[in-house]
Homo-oligomer: A and B are copies of this chain.
Amino acid sequence: VPEPVAAQMPSAVAGYDGPLVSLADIRAAAERIRGVALRTPLLPFGDGSFLKPESLQPTGSFKIRGAYNAMAQLPKTELARGVVTHSSGNHAQAIARAARLLGTRAVVVMPENAPRSKVDGVRGDGAEIVFVGPHNSERVERAHQIAERDGLTLIPSADNLRVIAGQGTIGLEIIEQLAELGTAGTPVVLVPVGLGGLAAGIATAIKSLLPEAHVFGVEPELAADTRDSLAAGRPVAWPPERTAATSADGLRAESPAPRPFAHLRRHLDGVLTVSEAQIGRAVGLAARAARLVLEPSGAVALAALVERADELPAGPRVAVLSGGNVDAERYIDLLMTP
For residue A56, CB closer than 8 A to chain B, the reply is: yes
Q: Is A336 a contact partner of B331 (Cβ separation < 8 A)?
A: no
As a 0/1 sequence over residues 28 to 56 of chain A, the CB contacts with chain B under 8 angstroms (1 = contact) are 00000001001111011000000001011
For residue A332, CB closer than 8 A to chain B, the reply is: yes
For residue A14, CB closer than 8 A to chain B, the reply is: no
Known contacts A335-B331, A336-B332, A291 near B56 by CB under 8 Å? yes
For residue A328, CB closer than 8 A to chain B, the reply is: yes
Q: Is A335 a contact partner of B324 (Cβ separation < 8 A)?
A: no
Which of A53, A58, A293 has most B Cβ within 10 Å? A293
Known contacts A284-B328, A331-B335, A39 near B41 by CB under 8 Å? yes
Q: How far is the CB of A331 from chain B (nearest CB, A)?
A: 7
Size class of the A contact interface (CB-based, 8 Å): 20 to 34
Residues of B within 8 A of A290 (CB): 56
Known contacts A44-B58, A331-B335, A332-B336, A324 near B38 by CB under 8 Å? no
Q: How far is the CB of A98 from chain B (nearest CB, A)?
A: 14
The complex is assembled from copies of this chain, and their number is 2
Q: How far is the CB of A220 from chain B (nearest CB, A)?
A: 20
One of B41, B292, B325, B336 near A38 (C-beta < 8 A): B41
One of B35, B294, B331, B332 near A181 (C-beta < 8 A): B35
Q: Interface residues of A: mostly helix, strand, loop or mixed?
A: mixed
Q: Is B35 a contact partner of A56 (Cβ separation < 8 A)?
A: no
One of B117, B288, B293 near A292 (C-beta < 8 A): B293
For residue A60, CB closer than 8 A to chain B, the reply is: yes
Q: How far is the CB of A100 from chain B (nearest CB, A)?
A: 11
Q: Is A56 a contact partner of B44 (Cβ separation < 8 A)?
A: no
Residues of B within 8 A of A53 (CB): 56
Residues of A within 8 A of B (CB): 35, 38-41, 43-44, 53, 55-56, 58, 60, 117, 181-182, 284, 287-288, 290-294, 324-325, 328, 331-332, 335-336
| 18 pairs of residues in contact across A and B, judged by CB atoms under 8 Å | A35-B181, A38-B43, A39-B41, A41-B41, A41-B56, A53-B56, A56-B292, A117-B288, A284-B328, A287-B331, A291-B293, A291-B294, A291-B324, A292-B292, A292-B293, A328-B335, A331-B335, A332-B335
6 A-B pairs with the lowest CB-CB distances in the bound complex, closest first: A291-B324, A291-B293, A55-B291, A287-B293, A60-B291, A332-B332
